[in-house]
Chain A
């Protein structure tokens, strides 16, 4: 029963969410908090906040953790598989079919026409990252970060991994001015 519910919750939220994992999060919340009542809103918010501090896809981290909490290791596997497997399967079938007819002229036309559409999707995604950077870092530092990263990665050919690694180190090492505020927040959450 429980495993079936886990399957339903994560299969449904994944199949209804478009635009990658982060867009499925509100759907996951609907299933986990409102429908199956496995967690309350605050717990869900905490888990999401913690998932956001770690790298990699959000949806699978949420599914894995919540599945584990509800149904142990089988629950974890169940939640992850129902989140990712159906769409991976579709993806492989559809693209492999397309590749088989690659030499046909009209199929080539199809694959060319899709590039500007992907570019638009990427542009929208880029803008979302810029917007949320501005929200946290303000205009000046966002622009500065972007320019420095652009020069390092594109003109000096430094692997983005090094840039990201350096930024993470700076984030941890840099002393924070808001330690007072932090104590207040801590007091509130306890």
Chain B
């Protein structure tokens, strides 16, 4: 029973704090599920994130649905999704009139803006940790090859991220 409460709380907290859409909540989710509750390891989190990025649609609900499932089966999954989606949607539906009135107010605009650099810090730290961990796992050569290769394909050639994840899986199956 406690576990369900924790699942709900972890995803409620991360999504009520993450300003800037689902991607902004990723480092917060990692902090809760890996660092705080130790439900999954950093490696497992990264695998889930890779798969999440390879699949279409919103990322926060995919992470919530999957991690919730790992921790507490279908009920856990459902709870995590509910905690991800419901609070902000309920706020939106109930406060619509009020929010509409203040949508151009500088205070409201500043809320999203002020949080952004902190989200950037959290994402930046996660980036660093992933590279660092990978360096110990597979060495600098593979990290540089996969890192630079996927960057060029993703950002310059605009290859579908799903294909890049797929290609890296094949590379890993053969070379690592």
A residues at B contact (CB < 8 Å): 14-22, 24, 46, 49-61, 64-65, 68, 76, 80, 83-84, 86-88, 90-92, 94-95, 98, 106-126, 129-130, 132-133, 136-137, 142, 145-146, 149-150, 153-154, 159-161, 163-165, 167-168, 170-172, 174, 176, 178, 182, 185-186, 189
Q: On chain B, which size bracket covers the interface? A: 35 or more
Can you list 23 A-B pairs with a CB-CB distance of less than 8 A?
A21-B59, A46-B103, A53-B99, A53-B109, A53-B112, A55-B19, A56-B16, A57-B60, A61-B88, A80-B89, A88-B66, A95-B48, A95-B66, A112-B137, A113-B142, A114-B168, A123-B127, A126-B127, A146-B120, A149-B117, A168-B111, A171-B113, A174-B107
Contact A88 B28 (CB under 8 A): no
Known contacts: A88-B61, A112-B172. The answer to whether A182 contacts B104 by CB under 8 A is yes
Pick from B19, B116, B134: contact of A116, CB under 8 Å: B134
Contact A122 B85 (CB under 8 A): no
Contact A150 B100 (CB under 8 A): no
Q: Considering the complex of A and B, which 10 residue pairs feature the smallest CB-CB distances, nearest first?
A: A113-B172, A56-B88, A109-B176, A88-B65, A145-B117, A21-B58, A119-B130, A129-B120, A20-B59, A57-B22
Contact B52 A168 (CB under 8 A): no
B161 within 8 A of A: yes
Contact A19 B62 (CB under 8 A): no
A187 to chain B, nearest CB (A): 11
Contact B85 A57 (CB under 8 A): yes
Contact B88 A130 (CB under 8 A): no
Kindly state the separation between the CA atoms of A95 and B20 in the bound complex, as whole angstroms. Answer: 27
Kindly state the separation between the CA atoms of A121 and B126 in the bound complex, as whole angstroms. Answer: 11
B90 to chain A, nearest CB (A): 9
Contact A129 B22 (CB under 8 A): no
Contact A120 B172 (CB under 8 A): no
Contact B52 A56 (CB under 8 A): no
Chain B contacts for A109, CB-based, 8 A: 172-176
Contact B65 A64 (CB under 8 A): no
Kindly state the separation between the CA atoms of A163 and B122 in the bound complex, as whole angstroms. Answer: 11
Kindly state the separation between the CA atoms of A88 and B23 in the bound complex, as whole angstroms. Answer: 16
Chain A contacts for B164, CB-based, 8 A: 117
Chain A contacts for B85, CB-based, 8 A: 56-57, 60, 64, 80, 84
Contact A114 B172 (CB under 8 A): yes
B3 within 8 A of A: no
Chain A contacts for B176, CB-based, 8 A: 108-110, 112-113
B109 to chain A, nearest CB (A): 8
Contact B22 A58 (CB under 8 A): yes
Contact A14 B99 (CB under 8 A): no
B50 within 8 A of A: yes
Kindly state the separation between the CA atoms of A130 and B51 in the bound complex, as whole angstroms. Answer: 25
Kindly state the separation between the CA atoms of A87 and B23 in the bound complex, as whole angstroms. Answer: 16
Chain A contacts for B174, CB-based, 8 A: 106, 109
